[in-house]
Copies of this chain bind each other. A is one copy, B any other.
Amino acid sequence: MPTEFTTPAVILNEPQLAENIGAVARAMANFGLRDLRLVRPRDGWPQDRAWASASGASWPLDGALVFDRLEDAIADLQVVLATTARPRELRLPVMTPREAAGDLYAAAAAGRATGLLYGGERAGLETRDISLCQGVVTIPVDEKFRSLNLGQAVVVTAYEWGVAVLDGPPETFAKNLAAPAGQEALQGLYGHLEGELLAAGFFHPPEKTPGMINNLRAIFARASLSDQEVSTLRGVITALSKGRGKVLEKLAAKRAREKP
């Protein structure tokens, strides 16, 4: 077991209240997390009220990075799990906080960069955001009252991370995990594939395009693709799309010949 490993980043997507960002920082500090990332915080950044509500847990706030796009906030991470209470259509693995902590700890102990993603207070996470992740963490809340406060969602998952570290390396740690590609490489793959599919007229009817894209991304997101596999798949896309181009050229040539 390595004595040093990278703790999961906490990514807040469109957080609204600075008080809640402070509460998140405090919960992170309680369980040894440090790397806070904010995507489009509603009221801008920095906000004094965040520091006030962190009760002295200032270091995650001092070092917080701000991003315009979720894609950029997770670009350097290899395993990102989305925390959401809502069951989703996406075919991504759904984990309990305990299972997620075990998986993240195994990944971190194997040298992977990991993250936990949380949605804003009002809207939570969109399917599009979740489709960028490798899995979903669902906190087992009572059906009568499912609405978890942002800080409380973070404290439950951070607590399980802390317990996982205290309990020591999980059994999966011994597995020879293939190094998964980073999110940036995955996003390159998505863009390549979606661009070619758009050109090929794959997305039909147009109003279903976002859902089709999300479902496609989830397939690759959960597959733990290595960098080599991402390269291979991009080669496949290139081959298929160029092949299609050649077919189209041949068809056009044929029609040209048939017309007098």
Which A residues fall within an 8 A CB radius of B? 23, 26-27, 29-32, 55-57, 96-98, 139-142, 144-149, 151-152, 155-156, 159, 162-163, 166
Contacts and interface: CB of A to CB of B under 8 A. Distances in A.
Given A27-B149, A27-B152, A55-B147, 16 more contacts: A26-B152, A29-B145, A30-B139, A30-B141, A30-B145, A30-B147, A30-B152, A32-B144, A56-B145, A57-B147, A98-B163, A139-B159, A141-B162, A152-B155, A155-B155, A155-B156
Residue with the greatest number of chain B CB neighbours at <10 A, chosen from A57, A96, A149: A149
Copies of this chain per assembly:
2
- Nearest first, the 7 closest Cβ-Cβ pairs linking A and B are A29-B145, A32-B142, A152-B155, A30-B141, A156-B159, A57-B145, A140-B166
16 contacts: A23-B149, A23-B152, A26-B147, A26-B149, A27-B149, A30-B142, A30-B145, A30-B152, A31-B142, A56-B147, A97-B159, A140-B163, A149-B151, A151-B151, A151-B152, A152-B155
Given A26-B149, A149-B26, A31 B141 contact: yes
A83 to B, nearest CB: 13
A155 B148 CA distance: 10
